[in-house]
A and B are shown apart, each in its own frame.
Chain A
Amino acid sequence: DAKTTQPTSMDCAEGRAANLPCNHSTISGNEYVYWYRQIHSQGPQYIIHGLKNNETNEMASLIITEDRKSSTLILPHATLRDTAVYYCIVKGETSGSRLTFGEGTQLTVNP
């Protein structure tokens, strides 16, 4: 699976949009971009994933560049409960294959 690069930490004001970037320049054609988050030692929580089109669900939006070498997770109105470590993971489409977690981005939402 392709390697990802994320900033170590970011801050965001409550109520504002949080934009979390991820670089995955070695991504291959059949690999998806997944985002998970981990709130203070709880189990990782799935947020969203995409292949090449932008995706939106009730939690977030995922913007993938046309060349697929980078993506941005957008939390449109961040709340204090969104403070967490956010992981960008590139994974093939095979069911049951492992997720490889990196260090992620520590997002702190400030009041």
Chain B
Amino acid sequence: EPEVTQTPSHQVTQMGQEVILRCVPISNHLYFYWYRQILGQKVEFLVSFYNNEISEKSEIFDDQFSVERPDGSNFTLKIRSTKLEDSAMYFCASSPPGGYGNYGYTFGSGTRLTVV
């Protein structure tokens, strides 16, 4: 069964450093997403991406965050200057084209980001 792959599985970084979280979505999917989950809290939407541009973003997704699809397979989330409160699990997801809610979203297994 096709999977969404995320790397690394765990990243530790110093406060103020830049991090890039990487994702390989399912190959025929056209919509890509990032979500995060702070330990013990709900899964929160960050951003969705379609046709090489952001289609929707949450209030969490401020100027320190950016997303990119640098080639035909990778989808990245960059955090420019990490803060302690950015420590969380970050999940990438993708979904196929088509409306009418025909398909669920496929999530990756996540990257645990720890900011120290």
Contacts and interface: CB of A to CB of B under 8 A. Distances in A.
Interface stretch (A4-12, A65-73, A96-104): A96-104
B42 A103 contact: yes
A28 interface: no
A36 B95 CA distance: 14
Contacts of B95: 95-96
A36 B109 contact: no
A97 B93 CA distance: 12
Interface of B, helix, strand, loop or mixed by DSSP:
strand
Interface residues of A, number: 28
A96 B107 contact: no
Contacts of B97: 95
B56 A97 contact: yes
Contact of B45 (A32, A47, A49, A100): A100
A98 B45 contact: yes
B30 to A, nearest CB: 8
A105 to B, nearest CB: 13
Nearest to B97: A95
Nearest to B91: A43
B101 interface: yes
A97 to B, nearest CB: 7
A40 to B, nearest CB: 11
B12 interface: no
A98 B48 contact: yes
Interface string A30-47: 001010101001111111
Nearest to A31: B101
The 7 A-B pairs of least Cβ separation, nearest first, read A46-B104, A43-B107, A101-B43, A96-B31, A32-B101, A98-B45, A93-B101
Interface of B: 4, 31, 33, 35, 37, 42-45, 48, 50, 55-56, 58, 89, 91, 93, 95, 97-101, 103-110
Given A41-B110, A43-B107, A93-B101, 6 more contacts: A34-B104, A43-B109, A44-B43, A92-B101, A96-B31, A98-B58
